[in-house]
Amino acid sequence: MNAENDRPAAMDAIFEQLDQSDIASIKGVVSGVLQIISDPTSTAKNLKEIVEIDPPLTARVLFLANSAHYAPRIKILDIMQAIIFVGFDAIKELALSQKVANIFQNGATVGGYSSEALWKHCLATALFTKMIYRREFRERGDNAYACGLLHDIGIIALQQFMPEVFYRILKTAEAENIALTAAEKAALGFDHADLGRAITEYWNFPEDIVQAIGAHHAPGQDPSRLAQTLFIADTVTRGNELGYESRPAVEKALFQTCLNELNINHQAVALVLADVQKEIANMETQGMLSYGNR
Amino acid sequence: MAIDDPRLRELEEKNALLETRVKHLTNDLHLTREENEASLVRYLDIHTNLEKKVAERTAELARTNQTLQNEILERRRAETRLQQSQKMKAIGTLAGGIAHDFNNILAAIMGYTEMSLMDTDEASSVHRRLTNVLKATNRAKELIHQILTFSRQNDPEIRPMAPLPIIKETIKMMRASLPATVEIRQRIPASSAMIMADPDHIHQILMNLCTNASQAMAKNGGTLELRMTEVDFDTETAHRDQDLLPGKYLKLTVADTGRGMDRAELEQIFDPYFTTKQTVDGDGSGLGLSVVHGIIHSHGGTIAVNSELGTGTTVDVFFPIIEPAKTDPAAVKTPIPLGRERILFVDDEQALADVGLQMLQRLGYHVVPRTSSVEALEAFRAHPDRFDLVVTDQTMPNMTGTELAREIHRIRPDIPIILCTGFSEKFPGELGPGIGIDDFLFKPIALRDFADTIRRVLDQPHISMTS
């Protein structure tokens, strides 16, 4: 598949700036961690090498690994120790989330939107998606977690590469009480889901992640389980003050269809949501939602 | 039949929630167990890596330790060598001191014997016995010379020499010290070949090689064979075999039928302090072949050792032959020169002063003997014109012979002076130029040397000293 040829011409202005941007800086670590997720034979040494190549990230991960949230028995001084005492999976998630958190910085607050709020939403979506995978599908859900973290990368790209256009779209959506995606489509010809798909595809991220991100507002024809789960997670978190958009233009029917197809009852959604809210609240108290390395 | 009871619905809802909760917990638990298993594998991996690292470090430490052990061993060996060489040095100093005194005793024996010889009829048995005494004394003199050479480590005196007499002499000496089980065979043709060498060194080399050979046969006896041949190396052979310049060589062979050496021993024989004997403390034979090797090479020669375990060892030594010089036709018997001049004779040892006095009187001279340099100077100062010659010992308390000579020349610069020295003292040439000594005599002094030197000094056209 040739990503560049399929890409709408309207995105050219964004892709011209992408490679030199802060957003591109997460590509290395994120794809490294995604590779570890996809390879069951990957070792602690592989993970250590991926994290340690990024000193600010390493410092951040070590700082958090030593925080009360993980409460290690000894003072952790390097990534290998962190892997041993905090856990391979915890460090993998921490590395991923902290790296991605890097790009959710600054930017103005417009209506219900701020990059901080967006980050909280992404984190909640990641946790929600992962928990559904674990609890409903009895699967690890590592990719689901990564997918949740990255699903709104299109919004960040819009905010960074064409801030004026983006803020105008936000205001329009609010004023006209329409979905953000609709306002984006009207103004640009594509929405942030399309842009997110284009970016992650350009970075050669796993296909299921790329497609799920592209479909997270409209899991259309023959959607994947990941796309449907992401859609549910995004919808639920936005509807429960875990997001930037307090008025979800949810198509109730679509939401119910996804739940039915995935065989998830509303009790499960309620239980998972409660746990996500608890976790996010806990992280907020621990200061783990404050941004990245700065 | 549907019962629409809100309480029932509430209960059903609660039940569903609990069921979901149980399902969630079960799944989570299942995954957690899987993850823990995966973690265990990873920890084992880390553990294996750590163990590997520990093994590597341990091996490295072992290597370092081995190196250290070797160094310690090398250090101990060096210490042993140092102790050995210090011991040798101490022995040398001790031997030097004894030899000096013994030399003076010999001087007296020699002097009196020579005088007695002059007094006896040449045909008499007493004369014959005295001649033997003199011969023995001469041998003792040689021995003392060797000890002093050893203790002084003096500069070699390399000069043209015929090695034949030295070789014969050495064989004679060896014969006495060899056990009866060792037979000596010699094939030494009469040869007038001359080599450039220090006679002491040739002696030392042969003694060393013969001692080694006899020690190799100490247990079971055998045959010690000495051969001397002349060989002519053309360019090719010289280079191929011995790394020598082409030419004529004198080849000395010392062969034994002793225990022999294996290849490993053979490779070490030129190492200092190498020995095939069990090293018992104090039994160190010293520098051995390493010194022999050094001496031979400094003479432009070489050494080749062949050995087979159980069969014996053959050592070939090569010295370049020089064109024979014209032999000195002098040294044939001429009558001992006599004289009637007045001599001031100084030696701090009473015995030597006595024998000197009597020897000089026998030669016809008028002698004033003194046993101290201070007294001698007083005697000279009292009557400077009454003396024609001063003969003085070098080593004396208060004032040495050279200092005395200086004082005497201050009084009368033209008086000739002969200085007598022992071997252990500084070589006269080392005393420096311009010390105003006309000639030297080495103790013990043979009568003929004494007479010849005195005559030569007295007869030389005298040059006035101005120092």
For residue A292, is it within any domain? Answer: no
For residue B81, is it within any domain? Answer: no
HSE-CB of A229 using CA atoms within 13 angstroms: 31
Report pLDDT for B3. 64
Interface test with A, best of B36, B46, B49, B53 (most A CBs within 10 A): B46
Token pair in block for residue A128: 């929600």
Per-residue pLDDT band for A150 (boundaries 50, 70, 90) equals: very high
Query: Is B15 an interface residue toward A (CB < 8 Å)?
Result: no
Pick from B17, B24, B42: CB nearest A43: B42
| Shared domain check, B424 and B379 | yes
**CATH number of the domain within which B231 lies:** 3.30.565.10
Contact B144, B389 (CB under 8 A): no
Pick from B16, B28, B31: CB nearest A267: B16
Per-residue pLDDT band for B273 (boundaries 50, 70, 90) equals: low
Report the 10 Å Cβ neighbour count for B39.
16
Count the domains in chain A.
1
Residue for token pair 């060489």:
B85
Residues of chain B contacting residue A41, judged by C-beta atoms under 8 Å apart:
none
Interface of A with B (CB under 8 A): 43-45, 80, 83-84, 87-89, 134-140, 265, 267-268, 270-272
B312-322 and B302-308 as β-strands: parallel, antiparallel, unpaired? antiparallel
Whether the pLDDT of residue A10 is over 80: the answer is no
Report pLDDT for B286. 47
CB-based contact B16 A138, cutoff 8 Å: no
Pick from B16, B20, B45: CB nearest A44: B45
Q: Per-residue pLDDT averaged across A278-282, rounded?
A: 89
For residue B195, is it within any domain? Answer: yes
Whether the pLDDT of residue B384 is over 70: the answer is yes
**CATH number of the domain within which B366 lies:** 3.40.50.2300
Whether the pLDDT of residue B100 is over 90: the answer is no
| Shared domain check, B190 and B295 | yes
Q: What share of chain B has pLDDT > 90, as a percent?
A: 18
Query: Is B47 an interface residue toward A (CB < 8 Å)?
Result: no
Q: What is the DSSP letter of B412?
A: -
Q: Which of A97-106, A198-207, A229-238, B380-389 is the least confident region?
A: A97-106
For residue B10, is it within any domain? Answer: no
Per-residue pLDDT band for A197 (boundaries 50, 70, 90) equals: very high
Q: What is the pLDDT of residues B114-146, one digit of tens each?
A: 889 888 988 999 999 999 998 888 888 877 776
Q: What is the pLDDT of residues B255-267, one digit of tens each?
A: 998 888 888 777 7
Per-residue pLDDT band for A275 (boundaries 50, 70, 90) equals: very high
Whether the pLDDT of residue B329 is over 80: the answer is no
Domain boundary among B322, B357, B385: B322
Report pLDDT for A177. 82
CB-based contact A45 B49, cutoff 8 Å: yes
Per-residue pLDDT band for A131 (boundaries 50, 70, 90) equals: very high
Q: Provide the shortest C-alpha distance from residue B12 to chain A (in Å).
A: 11
| Shared domain check, B261 and B168 | yes
- Per the model's pLDDT, the better-predicted residue between A75 and A244 turns out to be A75
For residue B70, is it within any domain? Answer: no
Per-residue pLDDT band for B330 (boundaries 50, 70, 90) equals: very low
| Shared domain check, B364 and B235 | no
For residue B167, is it within any domain? Answer: yes
Q: Per-residue pLDDT averaged across A257-281, rounded?
A: 91
Query: Is B37 an interface residue toward A (CB < 8 Å)?
Result: no
Four-residue CA torsion sign, B416, B420, B424, B425: negative
Highest mean pLDDT out of A120-129, A215-224, B43-52: A120-129
For residue A115, is it within any domain? Answer: yes
Four-residue CA torsion sign, A143, A148, A150, A152: positive
Whether the pLDDT of residue A2 is over 60: the answer is no
Q: Per-residue pLDDT averaged across B218-244, rounded?
A: 77
Burial class (CB in 10 A: 0-12, 13-18, 19+), A245: buried
Residues of chain A contacting residue B45, judged by C-beta atoms under 8 Å apart:
43-45
Q: Per-residue pLDDT averaged across B103-119, rounded?
A: 88
Per-residue pLDDT band for B156 (boundaries 50, 70, 90) equals: low
Per-residue pLDDT band for B15 (boundaries 50, 70, 90) equals: very high
Q: Provide the shortest C-alpha distance from residue A292 to chain B (in Å).
A: 27
Residues of chain A contacting residue B27, judged by C-beta atoms under 8 Å apart:
134-138
Interface test with A, best of B11, B13, B27, B52 (most A CBs within 10 A): B27
Q: What is the DSSP letter of B242?
A: I
Whether the pLDDT of residue B326 is over 90: the answer is no
Q: How far apart are CA B292 and CA B160, in angstroms?
A: 19
Find, in chain B, the residue whose alpha carbon is nearest to that of A267. Answer: B17
Q: Provide the shortest C-alpha distance from residue B18 to chain A (in Å).
A: 9
Residues of chain B contacting residue A272, judged by C-beta atoms under 8 Å apart:
24
Report pLDDT for B274. 65
Per-residue pLDDT band for A274 (boundaries 50, 70, 90) equals: very high
Burial class (CB in 10 A: 0-12, 13-18, 19+), A181: buried
Residues of chain B contacting residue A130, judged by C-beta atoms under 8 Å apart:
none
Pick from B13, B23, B46: CB nearest A44: B46
Whether the pLDDT of residue B147 is over 90: the answer is no
Q: Per-residue pLDDT averaged across B290-296, rounded?
A: 77
| Shared domain check, B367 and B277 | no
For residue A291, is it within any domain? Answer: no
* CB burial string A122-137: b at 16+ within 10 A, e below: bbbbbbbbbbbbbbbb
For residue B289, is it within any domain? Answer: yes
Residues of chain B contacting residue A273, judged by C-beta atoms under 8 Å apart:
none
Residues of chain A contacting residue B46, judged by C-beta atoms under 8 Å apart:
44-45, 80, 84
Whether the pLDDT of residue B316 is over 80: the answer is yes
Report pLDDT for A211. 92
Count the domains in chain B.
2
Closest CA to B448 of B110, B119, B108, B100: B110
Report pLDDT for B72. 92
Residues of chain B contacting residue A83, judged by C-beta atoms under 8 Å apart:
42
Per-residue pLDDT band for A24 (boundaries 50, 70, 90) equals: confident
Whether the pLDDT of residue A130 is over 70: the answer is yes
| Shared domain check, B311 and B362 | no
| Shared domain check, B350 and B302 | no
Contact A128, A144 (CB under 8 A): no
Q: Compute the mean pLDDT over every residue in chain B, rounded to the nearest whole number.
A: 81
| Shared domain check, B279 and B206 | yes
Interface test with A, best of B17, B20, B39, B49 (most A CBs within 10 A): B20
Residue A41's domain spans which residues?
A: 4-285
Report pLDDT for B95. 76
Give the A:B interface size as CB pairs under 8 Å.
Answer: 52
Q: Provide the shortest C-alpha distance from residue A244 to chain B (in Å).
A: 28
Interface test with B, best of A267, A269, A273, A276 (most B CBs within 10 A): A267
The model's pTM is: 0.52
Cα of first residue to Cα of last residue in chain B, in angstroms, is 155
Whether the pLDDT of residue A127 is over 90: the answer is yes
Q: How far apart are CA B428 and CA B426, in angstroms?
A: 6
Q: Provide the shortest C-alpha distance from residue A24 to chain B (in Å).
A: 31
Report pLDDT for B285. 46
Per-residue pLDDT band for B79 (boundaries 50, 70, 90) equals: confident
Q: Provide the shortest C-alpha distance from residue A140 to chain B (in Å).
A: 7
Please work out, in degrees rounded to the nearest 5, the angle formed at the alpha carbon of residue B268 by the alpha carbons of B264 and B271: 165
**Centroid of chain to Cα A196:** 10
Closest CA to B390 of B359, B418, B348: B418
Q: What is the pLDDT of residues A59-92, one digit of tens each?
A: 888 988 888 888 888 888 889 888 888 888 888 9
| Shared domain check, B357 and B293 | no
Whether the pLDDT of residue B337 is over 90: the answer is no
Whether the pLDDT of residue A289 is over 90: the answer is no
CB-based contact A43 B31, cutoff 8 Å: no
- Per the model's pLDDT, the better-predicted residue between B341 and B161 turns out to be B341
Q: Per-residue pLDDT averaged across B281-290, rounded?
A: 51
Q: What is the pLDDT of residues B408-453, one digit of tens each?
A: 988 998 899 998 887 544 554 545 445 678 888 888 888 888 888 8
| Shared domain check, B367 and B267 | no
Domain boundary among B261, B290, B322: B322
| Shared domain check, B293 and B387 | no
Residue B442's domain spans which residues?
A: 342-459
Contact A270, B17 (CB under 8 A): yes
CB-based contact A272 B24, cutoff 8 Å: yes
**CATH number of the domain within which A172 lies:** 1.10.3210.10
Q: Provide the shortest C-alpha distance from residue B20 to chain A (in Å).
A: 6
For residue A290, is it within any domain? Answer: no
Q: Provide the shortest C-alpha distance from residue B28 to chain A (in Å).
A: 6
Per-residue pLDDT band for B30 (boundaries 50, 70, 90) equals: very high
Domain boundary among B288, B322, B356: B322
CB-based contact A270 B17, cutoff 8 Å: yes
Query: Is B27 an interface residue toward A (CB < 8 Å)?
Result: yes
Query: Is B46 an interface residue toward A (CB < 8 Å)?
Result: yes
For residue B133, is it within any domain? Answer: no
Q: Provide the shortest C-alpha distance from residue B27 to chain A (in Å).
A: 5
CB-based contact B20 A268, cutoff 8 Å: yes
| Shared domain check, B368 and B224 | no
Whether the pLDDT of residue A118 is over 60: the answer is yes
Residues of chain A contacting residue B20, judged by C-beta atoms under 8 Å apart:
265, 267-268, 271
CB-based contact A135 B27, cutoff 8 Å: yes
Q: How far apart are CA B242 and CA B236, in angstroms?
A: 10
Q: Per-residue pLDDT averaged across B15-21, rounded?
A: 92
For residue B277, is it within any domain? Answer: yes
Report the 10 Å Cβ neighbour count for B248.
14
Residues of chain B contacting residue A45, judged by C-beta atoms under 8 Å apart:
45-46, 49
